[in-house]
Amino acid sequence: MTTITLNNGVEIPQLGFGTAAIDEWQEDNSYVTDTILKAMSIGYRHFDTAAVYGNERALGRAIRDSGLPRQELFITSKVWDTEQGRGTAAAFERSLERLQLDYLDLYLIHWPVPPYTRETWEAMEELYDEKKVRALGLSNFRKSDIEQIATFARVRPTCNQIELHPYLTQREMVDYCQFHKLAVVCWSPLGSGSWSGVPATEKPIVDPVIIQMAQKHGVTAGQIILKWNIQQHRIAIPKAESLDHIRKNFLLYDFELSEEEIKAIDSLNRYHRFGADPDVAHEINKKVPVPD
């Protein structure tokens, strides 16, 4: 599995497994654990969760039941809006407890809340100093939010996790992050999952341009989109539940996209968000509690 070296020297697998809304939103049952174990059996070692997903315990059970050495795994979680600021350290400890881990590989601010960012980040820096987390990062941060962090951060962010797929290529943000040596992590790389209520007919996996490429290379539309990310040095964290989809999303190494094909996918951009907009997300997020 290919890796990207973050700006603090930590290596992160370029292909991860997203866990948001496996089964249903905030489910934490044996089905979630079994789905993650399937991904581990295929070869995934990078797993992305968050406190608000409500499934950290299920991921923790999968880690334990897999028998895999902890150092072979890369585990990411995130601090939610309602727990930022002075609640950050305690939120982190609750995530660790739910996951039954001694440390995280990556801890992110889930969404920007500028009035709390400094207090949140400084609490995260203390966790980093204490070696409770190997890397710190951002999620859904806008350019202005990154500039705010730069005015006081003692520990540099290593990445920015953003919604990115062929209908929302975020070229300006990608260029900005890569110029400042922030790795770009793509959430919902195939277009939002079933939880979003977006019909499959509106997602990039059914776009004729991508379907035609998939047929040419003898792969799935999802594999084409994921390869488009991987070849451009981005990190992708697709979610899947069936063993067939989990396996196919992982098998990206038997084909290459040409520069022309990459540009053709780039040109599909519609500036279309399936998920929340960072400009307004906090007003919604502050009404969403982290489950116990």
Catalytic annotation, pick one of 53, 107, 116, 167: 53
Return the domain boundaries, the chain. Answer: 10-274
Instruction: Render pLDDT for 128-186 as a digit per residue (tens, 0 to 9).
Output: 999 999 999 999 999 999 999 999 999 999 999 999 999 999 999 999 999 999 999 99
Task: Please answer whether residues 82 and 286 qualify as being in contact, where contact means their C-beta atoms are separated by less than 8 angstroms.
Answer: yes
C-beta pairs of 275-283 under 8 Å, 24+ apart in sequence: 275/163, 275/187, 275/188, 275/192, 275/196, 276/111, 276/140, 278/111, 278/112, 278/140, 278/141, 278/142, 278/145, 279/142, 281/111, 281/140, 282/81, 282/111, 282/112, 282/113
Q: Which helix (H) or strand (E) holds 235?
A: strand 235-236
> What's residue 229's pLDDT?
98
pTM above 0.85, yes or no: yes
Annotated binding-site residues for substrate read 110
The CATH homologous superfamily to which domain 10-274 belongs is NADP-dependent oxidoreductase domain (3.20.20.100)
> What's residue 196's pLDDT?
62
Determine the length of the chain: 292
Is 116 an annotated catalytic residue?
no
Q: Measuring CA to CA, how many Å separate 10 from each of 30, 32, 105, 148, 186?
A: 31, 28, 9, 24, 18
Annotated binding-site residues read 110
